[in-house]
Amino acid sequence: MNYSTDAAYAYWLANVPGIGNRIKRKLTDYAETAQAVYEMPEKELKKLLPGNKAKKIEEARKGRNVMAEYERFKTRGINFVCLLQSTYPKRLAVIEDAPFAVYYYGNMPSQTAPSVAVIGARQCSEYGRYMAKLCGSQLAQEGVEVISGMARGIDGIGQSAALAEGGKTYGVLGCGVDICYPEENREIYERMKTQGGILSEYPPGMSPSPQLFPPRNRIISGLSDVVVIIEAKEKSGTLITADMALEQGKEVYVIPGRTTDSLSEGCNRLIKQGAGILLSIPEMLEETGLRKRNEKQRIVMENGQKKETGLMNYLDFYPKSIEQLQDESGMEYREILCQLMSLCMENKARQVSAGHYQRIEKI
């Protein structure tokens, strides 16, 4: 399979207007590749889809130069991953209405490291600010990746604290990844490009609008092992994320507040409905098993058990970044570079773009 060609057709399918994630997944499950969908005869399309949907596919492939469009997209420095690729986040692939494609700057969340969403009110109290900073810092110290929406208030504060501790954090936007929203979080946005990532299911250039934010919340919870809520009114977007997390089978923890405080109404209501009470980050990590999982990863890395297998076992026919290879193999950066150089010289691997390598020979 030619990676560039397959990615180009996946990019085309991702941008067909009026076709939702479920239909895109149905088509690729049936045809196996996005290129096969593009080349599918009209009669076959109409057997699979209602007439109006089949027509949209037909219209979307008229007069298109798929490879040229994809090459133009790549010049923008934005990454792209779809459900057909092994690098697509496993946590996200299993949720209801998983996005067919995700655009991102930087990197995607690790497939193996634990992750926690830290979300809450935009107009938060001083106590909320303090708790968001504390949670972001402690999660980063524990080696837990922080997922959030980069919104003003709790989201941005938690992510800023994680960055300050040298941790990794990922912002899920309700607009294109090339748009920093809100602009006041520009510093966080720029730092996440190298210390985590910025991602969205919406194509570059898509402006933020109210209807785009609720759907993106399923991605925040989908990428997370646990969702932590710090201050939320009884009717708020934060509670939409909590509902989505519960539907996805995720643990939800909240910080309780005074019953007379409107910013605590949503949190206290969730506690009444059975949500966990967050008394401390270490305790929450123990209760959910995330600390134990982290410890197992550390032991494997310290004992060198992953190093013995060699880097070739972690390379795929879809390109992987050096950071991904670090996450999966437990090897040091310098050791990975040395092995990659050797594998490239042996014609077992190739560099396909800056910092991205793919396997070209089975062993």
Class of domain 304-359 as given by CATH: mainly alpha
* Domain 115-292: top CATH class: alpha beta
pLDDT in tens, 234-267: 888 899 999 999 999 999 999 999 989 999 999 9
Which bin fits 230, alpha (ψ -120 to 50), beta or left (φ > 0)? Answer: beta
- The Cα–Cα gap between 4 and 41 comes to 23
Q: According to the model, what pLDDT value does residue 185 have?
A: 97
Give, in order, the Cα–Cα distances in Å from 343 to each of 68, 94, 197, 331: 31, 33, 28, 15
Do 13 and 38 contact (CB within 8 A), yes or no?
yes
Given this chain, do its domains 115-292 and 304-359 carry the same CATH topology? no
Single-letter code of the amino acid located at 224: S
d(CA 111, CA 167): 16
What is residue 296's predicted lDDT score, i.e. its pLDDT?
Answer: 58
Q: Where are the domains of the chain?
A: 3-75, 115-292, 304-359
| Strands across the sheet containing 356-359 | 320-321, 356-359, 349-353
Q: Are 216 and 173 in contact (CB under 8 A)?
A: yes
Report the C-alpha gap between 120 and 132 in whole angstroms.
Answer: 9
Nearest to 243 by CA among 96, 136, 36, 71: 96
Tens-binned pLDDT, residue by residue, of the chain (363 aa): 455 788 999 999 999 999 999 999 999 999 999 999 999 999 999 999 988 999 999 999 998 999 999 999 999 999 999 999 988 999 999 999 999 999 999 999 999 999 999 999 999 999 999 999 999 999 999 999 999 999 999 999 999 999 999 999 999 999 999 999 999 999 999 999 999 999 999 999 999 999 999 999 999 999 999 999 999 998 888 999 999 999 999 999 999 999 899 999 999 999 999 999 999 999 999 999 998 777 655 554 445 444 334 788 788 767 888 888 888 888 877 788 878 877 887 788 888 877 788 887 543
Give the pLDDT confidence of 128-165 residue by residue, as tens digits: 999 999 999 999 999 999 999 999 999 999 999 999 99
Tokens 């809520």 locate to: 229
Q: How far apart are CA 179 and CA 166, in angstroms?
A: 24
C-beta neighbour count of 171 within 10 angstroms: 30
Q: Which of 138, 165, 147 is nearest to 229 (CA)?
A: 147
Alpha helices per DSSP H over the chain? 3-14, 21-31, 34-38, 42-48, 51-60, 66-74, 90-93, 126-141, 154-164, 186-192, 213-222, 237-247, 265-272, 281-288, 290-303, 322-329, 333-345
